[in-house]
Chain A
Amino acid sequence: MRDWKRYVRERLPLPEAKGASDESVVEEFAGELEDLYLEALERGASEDEAEAYALEGMGDWDALAEEIARGGEVRMVSGGERWLERTEVRGWARGGGWAWLADLERDTRFSLRALRKSPGFTLVALLTLALGIGSVTTIFSLINGVLLRPLPYADSGELVYMWEKLASFEHAMVTYPNFLDWRERNRAFEDLAAFNDGSINLTGVGEPVELDVVRVSASMFPILRAQPLLGRTFLPEEDKLAGERVVVLAYGFWRERFGGDPGVLGRGLTLDGNPYTVIGVMPREFEFPVRGDLERIDVFVAIERFAENWIDNRGSHPGIAVIGRLAPGVTLEQASGDMERVALELEAEYPETNEGSRVHVASLHERMTRTFRQPMMLLLLAVGLLLIIACTNVANLVLARVTGRQREIAIRTGLGANGPRIVRLLLTESLTLWVLGGLLGIAFAHGATRALLALRGDRLAPVFQVGIDSRVVAVTLAVALLTGLLFGLAPALRSLRLDLVEHLKEGARSSGGLGRNRLRSALVVAEVSLAVALLVAAGLTVRSFGEMMRASPGFDPENVLSVEINLPSARYSEASQRAAFYYELLDRVRAIPGVRSAATSYVLPVAPGGWQNSFHVEGEPPEEGGVLTFAEVSSVSADYFATMGIPLLRGREFRRSDGVEAPRVVIVDEMLAERYWPNDDPIGKRLKFGDYSSESPWREVVGLVTHVKVNGVVEEALPQFYMPHWQDNDLAYFLAVKSAGDPTRLIEPVRQAVLAIDPAQPIAEVNTMTAYVRASTADGRFMAILLGTFAAAALLLAAVGIYGVMAQATAERGHEIGVRIALGATAGEVLGMVVRQGMGRVVLGVVLGLALAVAIGRLMAGSLFGVSALDPATFLAAPLFLSLVALAASLIPARRAVRVDPVRALYLIT
């Protein structure tokens, strides 16, 4: 049996009153329906036919409600009044708060029912809102995880990151003796800890592997308030030059290598050929804050054990940074001031190394997030614009619906609902819509956040946990409520201005009031301007990425494989041992079939890392005030430039004969030659490390090569020069192999070649040069994909919105158009009139949007590569494209309008 009462409730537009009289009206009509239905069934009709018959017998529901309102004053209106009264009385009786809640609940339930009644509207509105709000939620969950959440250390606000500021380098790593003095002399910190990262070879357990290691001061774990899962961390006496060799394992490494065996404590490990004892395991949730270039961290060792070459060298900056914890009550500014004092003391004591040297003190969190702040804010701005566009679309849908419901509203008012009551009801409907959209948006963001992390999660250190947490949910709902209130208010207030009498009359048509047209025009203008701004921002980013891709890295990365060789000092302490390994390595690798050429280099172009050193060109004036001149330096083998495809412009490559005993030689790049010998042949000129007074030997220029991007394609590099590997015999270097075909096929042969020379020597950092180039543009790609997606969504929404507004406005002018055509206007004239009016708003929107885009472009200027923030092409193309879309969106309804038969239009609309 059908639920006829529900049937009536769903169709009869009466207020949501539960008074006995209203219930009885519903029940009575339900009885009528049932009788009609049964009657039809008895006559042999099908259920569907019977239902149709019953409905037909009921007549016009709206008219019925209207008649009830008009004719049934005694029963109905008093019922309505009683209902309102009751609400108020309940409000007084319960002290207001709960009544409000009860009203809210009732209004919400009513809203849900009303939304269910128009599934098409609801679906479109919800999807639009879910897209808009969900995009904001996605980006906010990123921002929340990275910028807002505190780092996962107790009282993490007290943690600071410190590095050196040199006279000639704004940000320099710290020298170990300076660190020791900082630690000794400061009065602002509970303690300081130094760290640097690197690799260390593990042997004796299966194949030799290179582990990623962080070397830390013994004070590091106490500063981070990090407790080990098993055992202990370093003692101060272990963090000494001659300290005991001990190692703390990271959780992942412990699980993988030792299967999570708790008996690992006290076990021996051979690292770089030296015996170490495992003293502790860190818990799974512990993440070291700064990962540097490491993929992951396997083990921790005490740093001073490795300080043999740095501990007395105030001029050496071996990649050390310092983390400190502020003493209780000390602010960052006070700490900065205190370190200034320490730096001045050291400058006075060690003028030759510390002249002009100062200390940067930054909050650790700020330091770790500073590269994310700007792009994330840009993304937030973009999704904010997208959200406003989405809300504008939905507001317009709601507005159209309010217009269509004028009769219902009039009836409600006739039933005794006052203006504010109606506004509240409509507003609740909007808020319900927006909150539902927000909930859908959270679901959307859940997937989108994962997609984002998959796209570029590697860029985020694991200390940042990005996901949907309670704060993200709260902010999303707040955004939903706020935008719902903002964008639901206008259509709701619009209902107050409806002419009730007019709309209770028979045949009341929705006619566009002047006010509503203005509101609608404003919506179109807003939508177009925001879409233009977003389109320009996306256009600039995509153009910038394109430039990045086009920018030549200065070498040919195709078919080049690179691996890192890291010889342990324990087994390769003698230069002769290293040389023997080195020569054999190159000979063996060059003999592998498919290898075109092979070479080594201390630094790989475009790959992370680099080696900057000060230098002095012969004949230049002495440096003053500690301001040194720096260059990117690398030591490379013979064939390096051929292997990397770096054009040799003059002179020669290095040869094996450029050895320790041979005269010191260098190859310089164009940038350096251009700067010092603009009109001279650089071959035969001389330079040396350090400043004019340094003891370092003069090195003669024997070759000139083109400039190469060293640190990613985006960064502007310093001038470069190269030394022969044989004259700077280091323990660690990269082997680069140019192959005839797929370079990854060479990985195994290269590994075997290394093992054939030394069975305990692993290769690490296996990569292709094309992968490094790609990685260096990954940020640009990420932003281009994201902003491009947002802009595409904005464009789609704007097109739909403009079409909707135009279609409605044109439909409402059907009568006028009919008159015009009847009076002899041609289709072209009418078309022109409709389109002109629509495009007037679009043009206004474009102008405002361009102004907004200029402002956004200014924000973006820093992250653009090879493109001006006022790029004319983008500023022309984006509005043009949008205008075309808008034109198409307004042409469709306009064409439909002129096809209307004028007689029919006049008849229908009058």
Chain B
Amino acid sequence: MATTQTYVGSTVLRKEDPELLTGQASYVDNQTMPGMLWMALVRPPYVHARITSIDTSAATAMPGVVGVYTAEDLDLGALPFVWPITEDIKVPVHYPLAKDKIRFHGDAVAVVVAETRGQARDAAEAVHAEVEELAAVTDPEAAMAEGAPILHEELGTNVTVHWSHGGGGDQSVFESAPVIVEERYSQPRLIPNAIEARGCLAYGVPAMGEYTLISSTQIPHIVRATLGGAVGIAESKLRIVAPDVGGGFGSKLNVYAEEALALATAKATGRPVKWIEDRHENYVATIHGRGVIHDCTLAGTEDGQILGLKFVEIADMGAYYQLLTPGIPELGGWVYMGPYDPKAYWYEFTGVVTNATPTDAYRGAGRPEATYVLERLVDAYARRIGMDPAEVRRKNLVPKFTEARPAISGLNVDSGDYHATFDRALEMVGYEDLRREQAERRDRGDVKQLGIGLCTYIEMCGLAPSNILGALRYAAGGWDACTVQVTWTGKVVLKIGTSPHGQGHVTTWAQIAADALGVPIEDVEVLHGDTAVAPLGMDTYGSRSVSVGATALYLALEKIKEKARTLAAHELEAAEDDLEFANGAYTVKGAPDRARTITDLAATSWQAHSIPEGFEPNLEATAVFDPPNFTWPGGAHICVSEVDTETGAVEILRYVAVDDCGTVINPMIVEGQLHGGIAQGIAEALFEEAIYDEHGNLITSSMSQYLVPAATEIPTMELDRTETPSTTNPLGVKGIGEAGTIAAPPAVVNSVVDALAHLGVTDVGKPATPERVWGAIQRAKGGAA
């Protein structure tokens, strides 16, 4: 851009903040409407049961109740599932209300609408479901076994999908290599825990058949494109609004039963209907993440060369597919080589349905699962051959490349400089000194042992090239869109198709637009998250809002500037080629006093009193960007922890991260994304897991049992970065929303294992709870005795 960069690359305080800081945000539960009803769902306390009958009579008679509906009453279509990853995938049908069977605790059998929140809840309790309870299975391996309870009889099996990458390179290394390391790693289910649970408010103009759904969602456009069918509202008659959304992390990258039910009951009653999820409901009805088991093989040489990487995964799908469920492991299936360069590659997974909450995208979606097992495996390899894990990584990291380079998984990596991030991280943490301190503690036999955990990673984000999505059998494209309008008063309005919910994109985009047009950032207004305002879009997930969304913005800004150039040439009576653009103004070369600013031109193009022949009035342009490739951030994270060998307690002493997300627009926001992502990764490594009892009930069913860490559990992080521009887009940007959650879990768990490696410990499980760590120490001691 031939423009001074006032904003891009600098910390700019967020435009989003004032309303959030003063209690004026528009979260869905803050919105109310005249005549509004409250919806509550009836979720019987079973995870697998055949429904015999549902008695709604008592509930219907209760105070304030306006309607009680079962599946039969509403006759809704199935919820959308858009990623049938193989030709022979078996797809369970998923209705908003259970018809014949309850298959997990989130399955509702009826819905109540009433005048108040309390009345709706009271009446929901009074609906009685008569059921025949069935044996339940929540462990995917048990669900695969002969004789396991079958969830979907019509499918005949719980094993509903198998996907194989197909492999790359010479597979014989897995037999012939001098060193073969085989490990099995389990990663439990995680509950996303956006602090705002879900919620929605549906209302309409019944006479016109028009309906609006305000929903705490990451994906208003996808909801609009896919939900109409289930509720019998044409897409053209349906408007979806994502107001301020209190965090998502993938949990709101979905189309949910409650959204369909709020619309259906608003239709049925002719009144606005609001539903706000309780935290307990959120734990059973909103998607979970992870829930995978990997059998891993690394083939290598004695001197630290990784020759082959092979992963065979079992993935717990939960009771149904949500929007993307089996696509999540598949998405990870392209990054199991990490930043290394093995000669052979293999990945496959088997998806299994269980009587648990459906799994789907949770921050990182497939890539954290891959990175965790790969980085654990690399450490296991280092221990096996007696080499420092930093040395093994140095030997295998791909050297710096600035043009796209094919990886063995079959995709082209846009750019990377993995040695730079790794060397910087080692330097920041003082690696050699730490190893010395570790040796001293080991020699002394200290109760508290020191562990240094490494992770070098890449990720694949900026979702996604539409042609690749098509090849992967995803139902939609991966483009995004932006309309830029410069109003006649010189204000800039961006209407953009992704839908941020905490990531600071409004500020990031405004920085780009203000620089491009030479206007103060205060004059840039961003509109998003409303299908009536920004009708073209593919929403927010997979670190795409800058690499795809802002590139669409960039292209629209280029169009605006081109259009303005035509008008400027007309007004200045100069040839277009004789104009220069800088700081928001066109000037005639050699005559700097002859100038027209973009805002001047916006006014004259709006007035349209004197415009060139064929020139469309107004400075407005729309661009759609379909990325030619993914973007591929990378980096190195190092966790230093102290393990109490008597109790198994782990304390993180330091956490160092050096990341490369390409060109940085706003360093403050990039660091904030890393802080949050790393904290979630630490949570995954040490605290969080969804635990079910033998009957299939979720034990960790509240925030007092599912351990989301607080400020007392998360360390101060030390960050740095390098910038290797992406070759995928003209801005050179990659994405940083998921990096922390991808890199942190293996760095942390590796640090715990590293602290205890001298005792013979090779695994501590995930999360590395005190009891698991303590147990690993005891087993190692027993083994040594």
Q: Do A and B come from one complex?
A: no
